[in-house]
A and B are shown apart, each in its own frame.
Chain A
């Protein structure tokens, strides 16, 4: 069965330190992977995606993610965290079994808290 896992409910990091939010996936075929961010009382915002090509993907707000096929991971990273990065982060993967219906399988979210 296809799935996405975000093993950490919460990540705490000090401002200025590097941050990592973890995501692992299980799909058949080539994965299309996504990261979204949800600020309090807001809708989700697209951060970045991996479809093909370079394993290191750069996105909005200085975030990047590394696709690792052997470890079936797509961890979100940022070299220096800001307090304003505090939010809920969702990893998602294309549901291949849904065909062309462009359905995503969503992780449960990881709450990132950046402490000043």
Chain B
């Protein structure tokens, strides 16, 4: 069974479109994250939810909007896509109370043309 899954795996779209990426974890974790990994492999935290509450909201354009319908799911919606949004987006999860270990999904490679 896949612990942290993301869909789609690849996403190719044009500038100006709106797209969503979905993430699900079956680990029973209470905290989920979205990361962006750019072409230089630099990893940047974007958002984190704990039990459906937004707890980390980094400096990210407001075109990016996360949504957590329940603690097992965290989605990322991106409006008005730009070329610079092209990257690999990773979802991750971790468990309370003191565990900082994060478990990552396989990533969604977004290409904006």
Which residues of A line the B interface, CB within 8 A?
32, 34, 36, 38, 41-46, 49, 51, 88, 90, 94, 98, 101-104, 106, 108-109
Contacts and interface: CB of A to CB of B under 8 A. Distances in A.
A98 B55 CA distance: 10
A108 B4 CA distance: 23
- Mostly helix, strand, loop or mixed at chain B's interface? strand
A103 B33 CA distance: 9
B43 A109 contact: yes
A98 B41 contact: no
Interface in B33-63: 41-43, 45, 48, 50, 55-56
Interface in B68-113: 90, 92, 94, 98-107
B100 A43 contact: no
Given A44-B90, A108-B42, A102 B107 contact: no
Given A43-B90, A44-B90, A103 B107 contact: no
Contacts of A32: 100
Interface of B: 4, 31, 41-43, 45, 48, 50, 55-56, 90, 92, 94, 98-107
Nearest to A49: B101
A43 B107 contact: yes
A102 B49 CA distance: 10
4 smallest A-B Cβ distances: which pairs?
Answer: A43-B104, A44-B104, A106-B43, A101-B55
A43 B43 CA distance: 11
Contact of A43 (B4, B45, B55): B4
Given A98-B56, A102-B31, A103-B56, A46 B101 contact: yes
B40 to A, nearest CB: 8
Contacts of A106: 43, 45
Contacts of B107: 41-43
A102 B43 contact: no
B94 A90 contact: no
A101 B56 contact: yes
A109 B41 contact: yes
Interface centre among B4, B98, B100 (most CB of A within 10 A): B100
